[in-house]
Amino acid sequence: MTKSKTWTAALLIIGDEILSGRTEDKNIAQVALWLNDQGIRLVEVRVVPDIEERIVSGLNALRSSHDYCFTTGGIGPTHDDITVDAVAKAFGVKVVVHPTARAILEDYYRDRPGGLTDARMRMARTPEGAELIANAASRAPGIRVGNVFILAGVPHIAAAMLDALDGTLEGGRKMLSLTIGARAPESDVADLLRQTEADHPGCAIGSYPFFKDGGYGSNFVIRSEDEALARDCGDVLKDRLRGHGFEPVEGGI
Contact residues: a copy of itself, CB under 8 A: 13, 16-26, 28-33, 36, 41-50, 54, 76-80, 113-114, 117-120, 122-123, 154, 175, 177, 186-188, 190-191, 193-194, 197, 204-209, 221, 223
Nearer to a copy of itself, 118 or 213 (CB): 118
Contact 168, 160 (CB under 8 A): no
CA-wise closest residue to 95 among 124, 122, 121, 128: 128
- Cα-based angle 34, 45, 76 (whole degrees, multiple of 5): 75
Nearer to a copy of itself, 13 or 90 (CB): 13
Burial (0-12, 13-18, 19+ Cβ within 10 Å), 73: buried
Nearer to a copy of itself, 8 or 126 (CB): 8
CB of 16 to a copy of itself, least distance (A): 6
CB of 137 to a copy of itself, least distance (A): 9
Contact 184, 220 (CB under 8 A): no
CB of 129 to a copy of itself, least distance (A): 26
Distance of CA 52 to the CA centre of its chain: 22
CB of 148 to a copy of itself, least distance (A): 18
Coil, helix or strand at residue 142: strand
Helices vs. strands in the chain: H and E counts, helices first: 9, 12
Nearer to a copy of itself, 64 or 128 (CB): 64
Nearer to a copy of itself, 54 or 231 (CB): 54
CB of 228 to a copy of itself, least distance (A): 20
* Rounded distance between C-alpha atoms, residue 251 and residue 253, angstroms: 7
